[in-house]
Amino acid sequence: MANKIINFLSFCGLTWFIPFVRLCAGENPKDQVRDIITVIGIPIIAILIFLGFWSFTAAQIKTSLGNLPGPVAVMESGRTLMDEHAAERTKEQAFYERQEQRNAKKLAKNPGAEVKIRKYTGKPTYIDQIGTSLFTVFTGFLIASLIAVPIGVICGLNKYVMTAFNPLIQIFKPVSPLAWLPIVTMVVSALYTTTDGWFEKSFITSAITVALCSLWPSLINTALGVASIDKDYINVAKVLKLGFFEKIFKIVLPASLPYIFTGLRISLGVGWMVLIAAEMLAQNPGLGKFVWDEFQNGSSHSLARILVAVFTIGLIGFMLDRIMVVFQKFVSFGQDVVSA
């Protein structure tokens, strides 16, 4: 049992918790405590030093919006944001309850009456904004993957295609999202003309910008993975005279999955980083817009609230990366993969 948990934890890269599991399983407590002190104690000390340094320096820096907030102020802002979220949800619930009661009354008076169901139009809370950002980044990431993996496979299979794509890849790879955004905005405005579409224009613009910036690592890694498939695998495919699609789905893709997932992992990281900038400019109601609005707002709490966003962005980015690591390990069949 304990071993299973330990295997699972190390599989997910959550090695921090392993000594605790061992301790609970009654394995040589002395060793485990020493392990806990090294794997957790040291990072905690480092974090404490960082917090101390931060509050000290922050107090020295005066901005037009007051002092740079220290850890305590940021914590408080975080709590306020959660409270605002809770309050907004209560209001929303109250709104729907009232609407329901109204409609029920109407129907009681006249069963044939036409009842209107309106959507609550409160302003999005911090949690809503996190949700929007996640949805946007996953959409962009999905678009990127759907483009990058097939092209990568073709590039990896055929060195002429690779030679053809290579200059384009090299040129577009380093382009910043800020450069893409105006172009994407104009193109989306020109092509996406329905006003009652499923998605906001700002959402589409942000997602496409994320896709444009994040598809390159997936493309390059997929091509590399496919090109470096064991020659013998390809030879087996030739001896068996497998058809093109059977070869791709039964051999090429499974064999290069570790590389593909390395690429996807980098892409998701890049996408998340790019998203914030894209949302700021495109005014997509996510974390980027939150940061921008707070900056424009310029109240005394703004900097603390932005710092909450900074930590949120960091933690979510970290979690996304861990999730990708799990996938990556899951598909690599005991082969070692590069992980950083």
Partner 1 sequence: MKPPMLEIVNLKKVYPTKKGPFVVLENFNLKVDDGEFIAVIGHSGCGKSTALMMIAGLNDISDGNIAVNSREIDGAGPDRAVVFQSPSLFPWMTTLENVMLGVNRVYPHGTKKQREDICKYYLNKVGLGSALNKKAVDLSNGMKQRVGIARAFALKPRVLLLDEPFGMLDSLTRAELQDVLLEVWNKEKITAIMVTHDVDEALYLSDRVVMMTSGPYAKVGDVLHVPFERPRTRHNVNDDPRYYDCRGHLLDFLNGHDKDKTPEGLASDDDSKTATDSKNSNKSGPKSSHRSSHAQKELKYV
Number of chain residues interacting with partner 1 (CB under 8 A):
17
Q: Which is nearer to partner 1, 31 or 246 (CB)?
A: 246
Work out how close the CB of 58 gets to partner 1 at its nearest, in angstroms, rounded to a whole number.
52
Q: Which stretch binds partner 1 (CB under 8 A): 138-146, 152-160, 250-258, 313-321?
A: 250-258
Separation between Cα atoms, residue 188 and residue 210, nearest integer Å: 14
Q: Give the helix/strand (H/E) hosting 67.
A: strand 66-67
Q: Which stretch binds partner 1 (CB under 8 A): 166-174, 199-207, 295-303, 329-337?
A: 329-337
Considering only 7, 93, 299, 335, the residue that binds partner 1 (CB under 8 A) is 335
In single-letter form, the type of residue at position 46 comes to A
Q: Are 226 and 153 a contacting pair, CB within 8 Å?
A: yes
The CA distance from 282 to 313, in Å, is 18
- Which of 112, 334, 336, 340 touches partner 1 by CB under 8 A? 334
CB of 298: closest distance to partner 1 in angstroms?
56
Q: Give the span between the Cα atoms of 19 and 38, in whole angstroms.
A: 10
Q: Helix, strand or coil for residue 190? A: helix
- Min dist CB 294 to partner 1, Å, is 48
Distance CA 197, CA 255 (A): 40
> Taking a C-beta distance cutoff of 8 angstroms, is the pair 156, 234 a contact?
no
**Taking the complex as a whole, how short is the minimal distance between the CB of residue 253 and partner 1, in angstroms?**
10
Site for partner 1 in 208-247 (CB under 8 A): 230, 232-233, 235-236, 238-242
Rule CB under 8 A: is residue 250 a binding residue for partner 1? yes
Of 55 and 332, nearer to partner 1 (C-beta) is: 332
- Residue carrying the six token digits 């605790």: 20
Nearest to 258 by CA among 211, 222, 215: 222
Which parts of this chain interact with partner 1 (CB under 8 A)? 230, 232-233, 235-236, 238-242, 250-251, 254-255, 333-335
